[in-house]
Amino acid sequence: MEAGRSETMTPKTVRPTSITEYINDAPKEARMKLREMRACIRKAAPGAKEGLKWGMPAFSHHRILVTFAAFEHHIGFYPTPSAVKAFVKELSKFVTASSSIQFPLDKPLPLALIRRITEFRVQECTQEDAKWRTGRKSMSASFS
């Protein structure tokens, strides 16, 4: 054995590199709900790109639309503060913060609500991008 090295080494935790890996690595009791979330978001945002952001499953369309994650007692859903605010009445029976929603693992996911929130984010991003495209001057025009 080399000097300075111990006989036992703690294996490094391998971080998932895809949503599928994330779901497969999640606690067994959360996997089905994560699959349901993914399918619901895919239907609501069919052109969105899947990936991981901050170690969580994320869907993006020019910018991040929504992310979600598994926790011990809930699925966290992160659609942005504007989306949480827009659906505040419908979200009243869930734990929320400015940009997050907690869906308990022991209750069915509100898939229709998740779909509407995701569609809201798609529309919001599309409208926001349109504002940037139509109101801009070209760089050369601003320097003349």
* Interval 44-96: pLDDT, tens: 999 999 999 999 999 998 899 999 999 999 999 999 999 999 999 999 999 99
pLDDT of residue 129: 67
CATH of the domain spanning 19-125: 3.90.1150.200
Residues 112/37, Cβ–Cβ less than 8 Å: no
The DSSP letter of residue 99 is S
pLDDT digits (tens, 9 = 90+) for 109-143: 999 999 999 999 999 998 876 665 544 444 444 44
In terms of DSSP H, where are the helices of 71-138? 81-86, 111-134
Indicate if the pLDDT at residue 101 is higher than 80.
yes
Domain residue extents for the chain: 19-125
Cβ neighbours for 23, distance < 8 A, ≥ 6 positions apart: 31, 34, 35, 38, 57
Indicate if the pLDDT at residue 27 is higher than 90.
yes
pLDDT of residue 5: 44
User: What is this structure's pTM?
Assistant: 0.81
The DSSP letter of residue 4 is T
